[in-house]
């Protein structure tokens, strides 16, 4: 019997790769190995679930067993892959050794955690999975029910990037007090023009979000209780000397590609697992996509030292990559071609759509009207755009200007 194609990871990348492959090949054995339960859910929904009143269980769109049955795959849930043997084409797990014909790494990314001082650093939470969100939701629900309903709970967020701002908006709409700290000068400053960042700061400020820019969190300690009836609180010390007391601390300072397995197996890794245009890693028969991948131009056959490229931690790149990979796995090597991929940011206080130019692209943001910015390159034509408010409906118009 032929060895199966094995996919490590049951997030959006892993399940989408399996689904796209099944569209082309209904019979080749496929095994999905995941350290969690394997339920299918949309990770972007984690950052706007509170305002929608959705509990963690309601975010699961398809249970794991139904996904496996529908796609005719073998699911090994709650199974940790310990090592990859590239030469033998095997995986080591606590349950035994697995042979593969082709291997797909969809191992995702891990939250970046910075070192902090204090006696309550273990209280700092990150949300990068449904399990993470469930723990956060349970703790916040417990806090909210521990005192009088009139007591507004305070969540302190580390990081004013995309995820930090989405959670800030969601929690503020859900009647939580929210504070955000970031070393930059404004929210999403690495992604937005300065004026758009300012508008977002003002819009979230009107919801009650308090900003602490140009500073970082240095320590998290248990706060001294002044009343025996008070629930435990946390004291956050900032690098600018300020101290803020809150009920919870959420770290949202970014993600780092999960390359541990790939690195241990000797695969080329930089910011992510380096893959060529066909999504092959530096080892034959091993591919990668999703948050763990670093997409590079060219192919290994023409350059044994292929490096560079970029990580694309968004939904649309996963869809494009999964379709190309499915064709390659089915026997037709297919380079992935990424179209223009605007990102809709879930900040209803100020809706935003961003189509950012590639990192290091020369040019500058320009605006001819309120709520519309274009990134103008050397050839005086737009290479990207940002739309805010009601102008988010004009994404097709702006995309056409870039593609022509």
Q: Tens-of-pLDDT digits for all 404 residues of the chain?
A: 689 999 999 999 999 999 999 999 999 999 999 999 999 999 999 999 999 999 999 999 999 999 999 999 999 999 999 999 999 999 999 999 999 999 999 999 999 999 999 999 999 999 999 999 999 999 988 887 765 555 789 999 999 999 999 999 999 999 999 999 999 999 999 999 999 999 999 999 999 999 999 999 999 999 976 665 566 799 999 999 999 999 999 999 999 999 999 999 999 999 999 999 999 999 999 999 999 999 998 888 766 667 778 898 889 999 999 999 999 999 999 999 998 889 999 999 999 999 988 777 889 999 989 999 999 987 778 899 999 999 999 999 999 888 66
CA dihedral in degrees (14, 16, 21, 22; nearest 10)?
110
Residues in the chain: 404
Nearest to 301 by CA among 324, 286, 323, 284: 284
Tokens of 256: 């780092």
Q: Do 317 and 323 meet the contact criterion of CB atoms below 8 Å apart?
A: no
pLDDT value at residue 94 = 95
Mention every residue, 6+ apart, whose C-beta is less than 8 A from residue 359: 310
3-class state of residue 318 by DSSP: helix
pLDDT in tens, 196-247: 999 999 999 999 999 999 999 999 999 976 665 566 799 999 999 999 999 9
Q: How far is CA 294 from CA 161, 215, 302, in A?
A: 21, 30, 18
Structural domains of the chain, ranges and CATH numbers in brackets:
5-110+255-329 (3.50.50.60), 121-251 (3.50.50.60), 351-403 (3.30.390.120)
> Cβ of 308: how many Cβ atoms within 10 Å?
12
> Tell me, what's the pLDDT at 384?
92
Are 165 and 204 in contact, with CB atoms under 8 Å apart?
A: yes
310 three-class SS: strand
Confidence (pTM): 0.93
**What is the C-alpha separation between 26 and 324, in angstroms, rounded?**
17
Please tell me the predicted confidence (pLDDT) of residue 150: 55
Going by their DSSP bridges, the two strands 90-93 and 96-99 should be labelled as: antiparallel
- C-alpha of 176 from chain center: 23
Q: Where are the beta strands (DSSP E) in 120-215?
A: 124-125, 154-158, 177-182, 210-213
Per-residue tokens: 273: 């697992």
The CB-side HSE value for 221 (13 A sphere, CA atoms) comes to 12
Strands (E) in 139-185, as ranges, are: 154-158, 177-182
């Amino acid at each position: 019997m032929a060895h199966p194609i094995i996919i490590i990871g049951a997030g959006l990348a892993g399940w989408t790769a399996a689904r796209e492959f099944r569209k082309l090949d209904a019979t080749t054995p496929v095994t999905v190995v995941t350290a969690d339960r394997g339920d299918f859910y949309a990770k972007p929904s984690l950052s706007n679930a509170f305002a929608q009143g959705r509990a963690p269980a309601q975010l699961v769109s398809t249970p794991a067993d139904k996904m496996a049955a529908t796609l005719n795959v073998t699911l090994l849930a709650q199974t940790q892959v310990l090592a990859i043997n590239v030469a033998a084409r095997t995986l080591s797990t606590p349950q035994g050794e697995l042979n593969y014909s082709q291997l797909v790494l969809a191992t995702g990314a891990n939250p970046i955690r910075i070192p902090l001082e204090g006696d309550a650093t273990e209280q700092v939470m990150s949300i990068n999975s449904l399990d993470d969100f469930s723990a956060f939701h349970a703790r916040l629900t417990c806090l909210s029910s521990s005192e009088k309903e009139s007591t507004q709970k305070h969540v302190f967020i580390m990081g004013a990037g995309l995820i930090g701002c989405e959670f800030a908006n969601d929690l503020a709409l859900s009647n939580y007090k929210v504070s955000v700290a970031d070393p930059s000068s404004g929210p999403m400053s690495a992604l937005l023009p300065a004026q758009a960042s300012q508008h977002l700061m003002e819009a979230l400020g009107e919801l009650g979000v308090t900003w602490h820019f140009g500073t970082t969190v240095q320590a998290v300690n248990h706060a001294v209780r002044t009343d025996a009836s008070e629930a435990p609180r946390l004291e956050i010390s900032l690098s600018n000397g300020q101290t803020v007391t809150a009920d919870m601390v959420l770290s949202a300072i970014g993600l780092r590609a999960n390359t541990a397995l790939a690195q241990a197996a000797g695969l080329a890794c930089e910011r992510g697992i380096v893959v060529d245009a066909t999504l092959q890693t530096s080892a034959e028969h091993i591919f990668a996509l999703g948050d763990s991948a670093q997409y590079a131009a060219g192919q290994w056959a023409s350059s044994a030292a292929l490096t560079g490229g970029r990580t694309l931690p968004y939904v649309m790149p996963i869809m494009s990559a999964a379709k190309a990979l499915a064709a390659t796995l089915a026997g037709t090597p297919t380079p992935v071609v990424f179209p223009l991929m605007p990102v809709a940011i879930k900040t209803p206080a100020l809706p935003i759509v961003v189509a950012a130019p590639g990192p290091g692209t020369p040019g500058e943001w320009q605006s001819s009207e309120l709520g519309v910015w274009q990134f103008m390159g050397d050839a005086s034509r737009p290479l990207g755009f940002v739309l805010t408010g009601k102008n988010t409906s004009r994404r097709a118009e702006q995309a056409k200007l870039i593609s022509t």
